[in-house]
Structure 1
Amino acid sequence: MAMPNYAMSCFKLPIGVCRDLEKAIRNFWWRGSEQRKGVHWISWERLMKQKRVGGLGFRDIQCFNLAFLAKIGWRLIQNPGTLLATVLQEKYYPGKCFTEAGKGRNTSWGWKGIFYARKVLLHGLRWRVGDGAGINIREDPWFPRPSTFKVKPLVSLHATMVSELIDLETSSWKRDLILECFHQDDVGPILSIPLSKTGCRDRMVWHHNANGVYSVRSGYGVAMNLMENGDMGKKGRGSASDKPKNCYAWNLIWKLKLNSFALAGADFLSSWELFWTRVKGRDNAEEIMQEYAFGLWRLWKNRNEVVFNGVHRQPSELLEAWSRNISEFIDATLCEPVGKQPGSQSKIAPLDRGACRWKKPAFGILKVNTDASWCKTTLRTGVGWVCRDFAGLLQGAGGSGAALCHSAAVGEATTIRTALLACIDYGYDNVVIESDAKVIIQMIKHEIDLDFSIECILGDIEVLARRLRSVSFSYVPREGNAAAHSVAKFVFNEGREYGWDCIGPEFLFNILAQDVNLSIRI
C-alpha cells in the first residue's frame, strides 16, 4: 500500500491514524482473503523490530513520522538563514537556536510536530571538535559517547570552552590538564578525538551516520530505540537483553543473498556446482570458495557438537570461529613450513603474491608506505612510514607509538598525515603515498563521502599535499606494505617516537631486501 510520506514529512500524524495504517498493513499480510480474518502467528511489535535485532523491519508508522519531522529540525540547524528557519525563529524562539526552543502556547500543529521530533534529533546531534572555540565543555554535546554526548569534569576544572583544553602551539590536547580534571573513564575518549594541525572549525554533526548528515533511515532507528526505552514520554515497549550481542550475527544473515527455491531439495554436489558456476567468473572467486567451504565445515562441526555433546553455541561465536579459520588458512598458505626440503611440494599451494609485492616507483619519485597498529582496548596507536627511491633503497623511516585514536581508520589517516609532515621536513617534494587502508585512500581522492570523525585529519592531508611539488595517493594490499607495518608494530610496542635515516633499523633490513628480490638476510 502507498504510504503518506509527504504528509508525514510535514505534520505529525495523530496516533489513531498511525494505528489504522499499521492495522491495514497487518491485515494485508495475515489475511488469506477479504472474507477471512487470518491468524496472527507472531506479535506485530516483534515484526516491527529492525532486522539487525531479529525483526522483519516493518515500519512503525509513528517512529517513521518522527524521523521525517526530525529532518526538518536538522535543516533548521544547518541552514538558519532560510525563509522557513527565519520565520519559525522569529515566531517561536526569538534570540535562541532550535535546540533551545520551547513548545510555546497556542502554537501551530506543524510546529508541535517539529518540536516533538526534536527528541529524536537531540539523541544523535553533537559537535565535531575543530578548534573548540564555540563548544562549551559542560553544556554542549561534544563527548563522543551516546546518548547525551556530554561530559561532567571535576570541580577543579576552571576552563569553560573546549579550546582551553587544546595546546595551540602543538595542536594537541593538554594531556596533563585532562588527566587532572576529568574522570579516568573519560580521559581516553577525549584524548582520542583527532585535532587539526592546520586549522579547522567546529561543526554540528549527526552521530549515527559516518558522513555526519542526518538521514530518515538513521533517525528512524533512533526513534525506535527511544520508543522501546520509554524516552518519548510514554511507557516503553522493552527490548531483548542480548540485543548488542546478536546485532552482528543478524546483520550478516540479512546480507546473505540466497535463493532458497533453487537450493531446496538439491543434493550437495549439484548445489556446489550451481554455486561454482555463479562465482567462477569473479576476480575473487577463490576467496569466495574458501569462505564458503569453511562456512559449511563450521556448520557441520557445530551440528556434531549439538548432537553428540549437547553443546549449543551462539551465532556470533560461530561467525567468529569461521572468520578465525579463514585467517589461519590464509596465513598458512602465505608461509612455507619450517624445515621444508628443497624441491619438495607443499600440500597446500601458496597464493600468487607477485601482484601483491611492493613495486618500485619511477625514476625521480620517492614512494612512502604508511601503516598503523591500533589497540581497541587502550586506544593506543602506532603510526609508521617508510620512504624508498626508484631502486628500492631506504631514504628514511619513522613513527610514533604514543598517539591515541578512537578507531583504526583514524590511526591510518593520522599515519598519512605524519608521513606528509615528514616529507616536508626532509625535503621530499615528489612522492607517492601508499597505504593498505583502502577506504582512507578513497576518501582522500573524494571517491566516497568523508567520515566526519576524521575530516580534520583529511583536511590537513589536503593542505599538506599542496606544499609538495607532486604527490599522489594509492592503495596497496597488505602483502605489499610489510615494511611500514613492521615499523608501526615496532613503535607501538616501544610506545615512543622514532626516526631513522638511510641506514634504517636492523629489523627492517630483511623486509626491504625481500621487496627488491635480494637473497641477502641478516
Structure 2
Amino acid sequence: MGVPAIVGQSKRDVFHFLLDRVQDRLSSWKANTLSSGEKEVLVKAVLSALPTYVMSSFRLRRMLCLELMKKIRSFWWCNSGKDRSNHWVHWDLLCRHKKFGGLGFQDFEAFNLALLTKHAWNLQLHISRWDKPDTLIWAPERNGSFSVRSAYALARSFSDPRAASSDGFHWRVVWRCATLSKIQHFLWRCCHNALPTGLSLLWRGCVDSLLCSRCGMEEESLVHLFFRCSHSVQVWRLSPFHLDFSSVSFHSFLDGWSFFIWWASTSPDQSLALGLMSFCAWFIWKARNHRVFHGLLWSLVQVAAKAVANFWEFQDARSLCSSLASSDSPSSARCWVPPAEGMVKCNFDASFSSQSSRGSGGAVFRDCRGHILHAVVFRPFLASSALMTEAYACLRAIFWASSFGYQRLCFESDAKGVVDAVQDASSCPFEIASICFDIRMDLQSFAVASLEHVRCLGNQVAHDLAMLSRDLFLVDQELFSLPPHISASDFGCHVIKSSMASPLSKHLDFLCGSSGSAGNEGTNENQ
C-alpha cells in the first residue's frame, strides 16, 4: 500500500509521497473543463481517499495536512486554466456538512484523528465486578458502537463549533432541489455571496467598475443582479410563475431564496417549482456572462425561453432514467403476503405519543389462506421513543404467540430499525439493546420463527389495531371481531371474522362507529 516500513524523525520527508500522489492525479485532470458537481465527486471519491490508509496508522504533521488541503482547494476553485484563482469561500466552511452550509469536504486533521481514535477504542480493556463483562458505549452513536464517522463529526465540532448552529433548512432545500448538480452548486455559491459580481470583484481589486453590465444603473451585487435589475425583473415576469420583484426588497440572495421557498410551498410540487426557479436564476447568470465576456445580449424572451426549455428537457431525462431504473429493479411486495402452508404469520405495529411518552400496539395472526386467527391489542405503556415502542410491541407479539401455542411463525413489522437491530446485534441501538436481547432469546423457543420487514401497506391491519389500543384499552386484550373501520386492506377481502361475538366486540363497534378512526398523532418515525 506504499506505507513506509520505518519512520524516522522527519515525517515530512517520509510522507511527502502523498503530495506527489495527489499532484499526479491533479495533473491528469483539466479542472477548467469540469463542472462543480464533477469536481465534487473527484475531490471526495479520489483525492480525499488517497491518504486514508496512511492516516489510519500514522499521525500526519499539521503542515502536511495543510499542503494537501491547499492542493485540493486550488483544484476546486480553478476554472480558467490559471494556477492562481480567487478562493471565494473559506476552507473551514467547505468542510462543513452540506446541511450546515458546507460541501462536506474532508478535514484531513480531524479525519486523521478519528482514524487513530478507532485503534485506541479497540484497545480498551473492560473490567467488571460481575460475571458479565461491562459494555463500553460510544455515546455519539445510537447503537453505542464506535464509528469513524461520528468520531470525525466530534473532532470537527471542536475545530468549527459554529457549524452545528447554522440553519440547515435552506441548505437542505438547495441540495434536494430538482435541478442539475452544477446549478445546485451555483445556488450554494449565491447563498454564500461567492459569485464574481462587479461588487465582489471590486472588493478584491480585480475590476475598476462595479456598475451592472446590463442596465448600468446600480452597482452589480447579487441582490441587484437577480432581483433589482430591470432585465431580471422582466425575465421573472415572463417566467411561468409571473413573479414581480419590483415592490420586494431583499438584503441578500439568501432572503430571495427564502422567498422562493415560500412561493414554491404554495405549489403542488415544491421541488419541481424550485427547480424551475433555479433554472431561471441560472440563465439570468449565463446571460450576464455572455454580455460581459462575449459582448452578446440575449433578449428577455430568449432568456426565459431557454430556462423553461432546458428545465423540461432535464425533467424528461430524469423521468426516463427513473423509469428505466424502476423497470430493472425487482419489485417488492406492497401488500400482505400469506405465509407458507403450515405457518402462521403475525403482523404487529405500535403507536407512540411524544406528548405523553406512552406507547401502545396491536398484532394480528393469520394462516396461509389469509384467515384471521387472532387479533390482539396491547395496553398503553411508558416509552422514551417510537423505536422503543416498536421493540416492546415485538416482545408482546411474541408473548401472545407463545400463549396461543403456535410453534411455526413468521413475524412481520414495518419498523425496519427494530428488525435490523434484532437481526444484527452489532447495529442495535443501546436504548433497546436489552429488549432486542429478550426478543432473540424468545424467538429461539419456537420450532420455526423469523422476523422480517414489510412495507406499511402490508401491515395496515396491525397499524389500525395499534391506533385503536392507544385510545380504548387499559389492558392487553384479544378481540373476537374487528371493528368496522378496520379491514384487511393489505390482503384483499380474505378475512373470516370469528362467530364468537362478545359484549366487548359490540362495545368496540359502537365506539368506533361513533368516534371514527384514531388520529395521526405519534405516527411511528420508523415507518
Structure 2 length normalisation: TM-score?
0.51
**Are residue 27 (structure 1) and residue 83 (structure 2) matched?**
no
Structure 1 residue 427: Cα displacement: 1.6
CA distance in 2, matches of 1:64, 1:251: 24
* Contact residue 358 and residue 381 of structure 2 kept, 8 A: yes
**Are residue 500 (structure 1) and residue 424 (structure 2) matched?**
no
Instruction: Say which of 119, 130, 152 aligns to 1:220.
Output: 152
CA distance in 1, matches of 2:372, 2:69: 67
The letter for the 1-side match of 2:155 is A
Q: Which residue of 2 aligns with 1:48?
A: 95
Q: How does 1:88-237 map to 2 (within 5 A)?
A: 203-229=135-161
The DSSP-based 3-state class of the residue aligned with 1:464 is helix
CA distance in 1, matches of 2:489, 2:89: 62
Q: Which residue of 1 aligns with 2:493?
A: 516
CA distance in 2, matches of 1:394, 1:469: 21
Q: Which residue of 2 aligns with 1:232?
A: none
Structure 1 residue 212: Cα displacement: 3.5
**Are residue 433 (structure 1) and residue 411 (structure 2) matched?**
yes
Instruction: Say which of 352, 361, 365 aligns to 1:374.
Output: 352
Provide Cα deviations, 1:275-307, integer angstroms capped at 9, x if missing partner: xxxxxxxxxxxxxxxxxxxxxxxxx99956776
The DSSP-based 3-state class of the residue aligned with 1:205 is coil
Q: How does 1:312-327 map to 2 (within 5 A)?
A: 313=258
The DSSP-based 3-state class of the residue aligned with 1:204 is coil
CA distance in 2, matches of 1:25, 1:8: 17
CA distance in 2, matches of 1:515, 1:430: 24
CA distance in 1, matches of 2:405, 2:88: 71
**Are residue 491 (structure 1) and residue 469 (structure 2) matched?**
yes
CA distance in 2, matches of 1:240, 1:465: 42
Structure 1 residue 487: Cα displacement: 1.1
Q: Which residue of 2 aligns with 1:243?
A: 167
The letter for the 1-side match of 2:167 is K
Structure 1 residue 371: Cα displacement: 0.9
Provide Cα deviations, 1:65-90, integer angstroms capped at 9, x if missing partner: 2212322221122xx39xxxxxxxxx
CA RMSD of aligned residues (A): 4.7
Aligned residues: 333
The DSSP-based 3-state class of the residue aligned with 1:479 is helix
The letter for the 2-side match of 1:243 is D
Provide Cα deviations, 1:386-410, integer angstroms capped at 9, x if missing partner: 1233454443332335334444333
Residue segments in structure 1 that go unaligned for 5+ positions in a row: 82-96, 98-132, 136-198, 230-237, 265-299, 327-353
CA distance in 2, matches of 1:449, 1:27: 40
**Are residue 409 (structure 1) and residue 387 (structure 2) matched?**
yes
Structure 1 residue 227: Cα displacement: 1.5
The letter for the 1-side match of 2:343 is I
The DSSP-based 3-state class of the residue aligned with 1:488 is helix
With over 3 angstroms needed to count, the CA separation of the structure-2 counterparts of 1:314 and 1:494, relative to structure 1, is farther
CA distance in 2, matches of 1:28, 1:466: 57
CA distance in 1, matches of 2:174, 2:147: 22
Q: Relative CO higher for 1 or 2, CA cutoff 8 Å, sep ≥ 6?
A: 1
* Contact residue 394 and residue 504 of structure 1 kept, 8 A: no
With over 3 angstroms needed to count, the CA separation of the structure-2 counterparts of 1:408 and 1:355, relative to structure 1, is same
Instruction: Say which of 351, 354, 358 aligns to 2:336.
Output: 358
Structure 1 residue 496: Cα displacement: 3.0
Give the % identical residues.
27
Provide Cα deviations, 1:95-120, integer angstroms capped at 9, x if missing partner: xx9xxxxxxxxxxxxxxxxxxxxxxx
CA distance in 2, matches of 1:373, 1:203: 30
Residue segments in structure 2 that go unaligned for 5+ positions in a row: 1-18, 23-49, 187-237, 249-255, 272-331, 498-508, 514-527
With over 3 angstroms needed to count, the CA separation of the structure-2 counterparts of 1:247 and 1:465, relative to structure 1, is farther
CA distance in 1, matches of 2:264, 2:385: 22
Provide Cα deviations, 1:412-437, integer angstroms capped at 9, x if missing partner: 23222210111112222222212223
CA distance in 1, matches of 2:138, 2:478: 42
With over 3 angstroms needed to count, the CA separation of the structure-2 counterparts of 1:200 and 1:474, relative to structure 1, is farther
* Contact residue 371 and residue 494 of structure 2 kept, 8 A: no
The DSSP-based 3-state class of the residue aligned with 1:206 is coil
The letter for the 1-side match of 2:348 is T
CA distance in 1, matches of 2:80, 2:257: 41
Q: How does 1:434-513 map to 2 (within 5 A)?
A: 434-446=412-424, 449-494=427-472, 496-501=474-479, 503-507=480-484, 510-511=487-488
Structure 1 residue 321: Cα displacement: 8.0
With over 3 angstroms needed to count, the CA separation of the structure-2 counterparts of 1:418 and 1:258, relative to structure 1, is farther
CA distance in 1, matches of 2:240, 2:449: 51
* Contact residue 31 and residue 37 of structure 1 kept, 8 A: yes
With over 3 angstroms needed to count, the CA separation of the structure-2 counterparts of 1:68 and 1:491, relative to structure 1, is same
The letter for the 2-side match of 1:222 is L
CA distance in 1, matches of 2:247, 2:358: 41
Provide Cα deviations, 1:305-329, integer angstroms capped at 9, x if missing partner: 7769969647887998899999xxx
The letter for the 1-side match of 2:474 is R
CA distance in 2, matches of 1:219, 1:365: 45
Provide Cα deviations, 1:357-385, integer angstroms capped at 9, x if missing partner: 43444454322110111234444222211
Structure 1 residue 4: Cα displacement: 4.4
CA distance in 1, matches of 2:143, 2:179: 27
* Contact residue 388 and residue 432 of structure 2 kept, 8 A: yes
Q: Which residue of 2 aligns with 1:18?
A: 65
* Contact residue 391 and residue 418 of structure 2 kept, 8 A: yes
The DSSP-based 3-state class of the residue aligned with 2:160 is helix
Structure 1 residue 464: Cα displacement: 0.6
* Contact residue 377 and residue 466 of structure 2 kept, 8 A: yes
Q: Which residue of 2 aligns with 1:395?
A: 373
The letter for the 2-side match of 1:208 is P
